[in-house]
Amino acid sequence: MISKDARSILEYFKALLNDLRVSVIPPQNISNDDSFLEIDQTIKTIRNSATALGNGNLSEDINGRGYVLGSLKNLQASLRNLTWITKTIASGDFSQRVHFLGDFSEAFNSMTEKLESSIHELEEARSHFEMVFQTIPDATVITKVADGTLIAYNRAFMEATKFTDADLTVGSFNIRDLYIDESQRETFIKTLEANGFVENLEICFYGKNNERHIGLVSSKRIIIDGAPHVLSVIRDITQLKAIEAKLQQSEERHRLLADNAADVIWTMDLTGRFTYISPSVEKLRGYTVEEVMAQSQEEVLCPGSLVQMHEGLARAINSVQNGLPFQVYRGELEQPCKDGTTVWTEATVSGIYSEDGRFVGMLGVTRDISERKLMEEEIRRLSITDKLTQSFNRLKLDETLEHHNKWAQNGSAPFAIIILDIDHFKLVNDTYGHQVGDRVLIELVGLLNETVRHGDVVGRWGGEEFLIILPDTSLMDAARLAERLRQAVANHSFATAGAVTISLGVSAYKNDTAPESIVSRADRALYLAKEKGRNRVEVC
């Protein structure tokens, strides 16, 4: 039987431990006992310290002796260290790692590595955009819609206008100052506000030394930081317009210019019949002028481009019959060559008018853009490719997931995904170095591509994680493929690193409203595979 004094002591400590809001008074008969006061102070210190830590206060001064207070001090020191490491990561330093919080350390370090990888991928995507922007062959600018302030420009714009970087100070240079006729600016803005874009609008503008230029402007309204901006591509047609004027003044001068031009210059009537072709067509397509003059429309253009020609002729006929201005056409066309190959060209077509304003035909300039198409294809490939492994990158994977999820929502073929992770990859890097680790990632992608089916999409999800998108695949079929992948990797001897294993998580489309859901299930399955010992497949 507990004595009355012992019970009052127990009740006091029970109240002291259970409720911070209750103010309790120690029993009078032992309130001056040294041992009691020491225990009383220790419990109060534990209670106050735990409250401070729970509220995120790491400045509490924890005094006292004993295992519990020592543990609280260690926890406080660890949390202070974690706060400092988090601040260094926020400032962009990803070199710090946590090794003092048990299982939390691995999760925190993994999160840090993925954040660092994501930032690197964003920087790479930004550099790809800058490369594409700067290699656009025509003058390209980004300006504010409201006042015309210049935000960005490419090298082609500087070459066309002769302005320098010092002249084009971003944020203070105004594109409106280049307009020769302010009414053209008003027409441009009205068209942009009505349609959201402007296509092949002819505008006269000044260069640096007041040289007059004529440009075909195609623009699109975009939003940057919540404010409307406009992206404009300007094709300088000053020389083409000069040629038009000379053609109208003298057919003989036209022949002289056209016959010696590197581009193919031609004229055509509204029936689609050539009335003139410059000799440079033979260098472009292999056919002589006489052979091209005798060709039908089907022989001049490949099927996909022939549609554009028919549409362009229909617009031209409508404009001429209704007394409307000729709509300048600019587009990319594929043309057959005599040797059986094809060549990509860029054609600009405008109307030819007599001095009395009568329409007399169409003038076209065709330019070989084969090298540009190859460059554009290479830029596109770089923008969706992981630099190390040459598999698809995160941006391409996100785009493909979104595409398949929409297809599945519309009742088309369902799909499944596999997320895999190299087991103990940090140990490979620590043991053999990052170069060997990189080689393991490259070899792994080779194994994955050899094992998956044609049409499956393999890409680097981040770090040592890879994602495989499986079109028209059930959950069970995806699980079987995942097992074949696991075995292929387990049976392979990697250069220097030797044996390496992977863990895989599998999930399939299940009426998901967004691709994040299917990815989340695969992530959970991957986590379960690692919890169960790694080198295994788990299905969600």
The answer to whether residues 400 and 339 belong to one domain is: no
Q: Are strands 457-462 and 465-471 parallel, antiparallel or unpaired?
A: antiparallel
Q: Which two tokens stand for residue 476?
A: 């069970």
User: What is the number of structural domains in the chain?
Assistant: 5
Tens digits of per-residue pLDDT, 3-37?
666 776 677 767 666 665 656 666 666 666 766 77
Write out the E strands in 278-358.
329-336, 342-353
Q: 9 versus 153: which is more confidently predicted?
A: 153
Q: 50 versus 392: which is more confidently predicted?
A: 392
Identity of the highest mean pLDDT range in 51-55, 167-171, 465-469: 465-469
pLDDT class of 421 with cuts at 50, 70, 90:
very high
Q: Which residues contact 11 (CB under 8 A, 6 or more apart)?
A: none
User: For residue 218, is it within any domain?
Assistant: yes
Question: Among 42-46, 94-98, 159-163, where is mean pLDDT lowest?
Answer: 94-98
The answer to whether residues 312 and 351 belong to one domain is: yes
Identity of the highest mean pLDDT range in 157-161, 194-198, 345-349: 345-349
The answer to whether residues 67 and 142 belong to one domain is: no
The answer to whether residues 392 and 514 belong to one domain is: yes
The answer to whether residues 463 and 318 belong to one domain is: no
DSSP, collapsed to helix, strand or coil, labels residue 469 as strand
Q: Which two tokens stand for residue 453?
A: 């089916």
pLDDT class of 126 with cuts at 50, 70, 90:
low
Average pLDDT over residues 177-199: 86
In the predicted structure, residue 90 carries a pLDDT above the cut 70: no
User: For residue 1, is it within any domain?
Assistant: no
- What's at 58, amino acid-wise? L
The answer to whether residues 455 and 508 belong to one domain is: yes
Chain-centroid distance of CA 343 in Å reads 30
The answer to whether residues 276 and 297 belong to one domain is: yes
Domain interval for residue 226: 136-236
Average pLDDT over residues 402-428: 90
User: Shortest CA distance to 422 belongs to which of 349, 359, 504?
Assistant: 504
The answer to whether residues 121 and 162 belong to one domain is: no
Cα Rg of the chain (Å, integer): 36
Q: What is residue 240's predicted lDDT score, i.e. its pLDDT?
A: 78
State which of 186, 214, 236 marks the end of a domain. Answer: 236
Residue by residue, DSSP assigns 184-213 as HHHHHHHHHHHHSEEEEEEEEEE-TTS-EE
Are residues 203 and 139 in contact, defined by beta-carbon separation less than 8 angstroms? no
Are residues 118 and 201 in contact, defined by beta-carbon separation less than 8 angstroms? no
Which DSSP category does 98 fall into?
-
pLDDT class of 509 with cuts at 50, 70, 90:
very high
In the predicted structure, residue 423 carries a pLDDT above the cut 80: yes
The answer to whether residues 285 and 411 belong to one domain is: no
Average pLDDT over residues 123-150: 74
pLDDT class of 466 with cuts at 50, 70, 90:
very high
Tens digits of per-residue pLDDT, 201-226?
888 888 888 888 888 888 888 888 88
Question: Among 34-48, 180-194, 343-357, where is mean pLDDT lowest?
Answer: 34-48
Cα–Cα dist 313/494, whole Å: 61
Q: What is residue 23's predicted lDDT score, i.e. its pLDDT?
A: 63
Which DSSP category does 28 fall into?
G
Average pLDDT over residues 513-523: 91
User: For residue 3, is it within any domain?
Assistant: no
The answer to whether residues 330 and 433 belong to one domain is: no
User: For residue 6, is it within any domain?
Assistant: no
Q: Which residues contact 86 (CB under 8 A, 6 or more apart)?
A: none
The order of strands in the sheet holding 197-206 is 150-153, 139-144, 227-236, 212-224, 197-206
Cα–Cα dist 346/368, whole Å: 7
Cα–Cα dist 222/129, whole Å: 15
Q: What is residue 236's predicted lDDT score, i.e. its pLDDT?
A: 83
State which of 374, 408, 427 marks the end of a domain. Answer: 374
Cα–Cα dist 454/475, whole Å: 18
The answer to whether residues 108 and 218 belong to one domain is: no
In the predicted structure, residue 110 carries a pLDDT above the cut 90: no
User: For residue 13, is it within any domain?
Assistant: no
Average pLDDT, the chain: 82
The answer to whether residues 477 and 432 belong to one domain is: yes
Q: Which two tokens stand for residue 57?
A: 């206060």
Tens digits of per-residue pLDDT, 256-315?
555 555 789 899 998 989 999 988 899 999 999 999 999 999 999 999 899 988 998 899
User: Shortest CA distance to 216 belongs to which of 238, 231, 195?
Assistant: 238
Q: What is residue 188's predicted lDDT score, i.e. its pLDDT?
A: 87
CATH no. for residue 258?
3.30.450.20
State which of 236, 265, 290 marks the end of a domain. Answer: 236
In the predicted structure, residue 467 carries a pLDDT above the cut 70: yes
User: Shortest CA distance to 175 belongs to which of 202, 206, 200?
Assistant: 206
pLDDT class of 114 with cuts at 50, 70, 90:
low
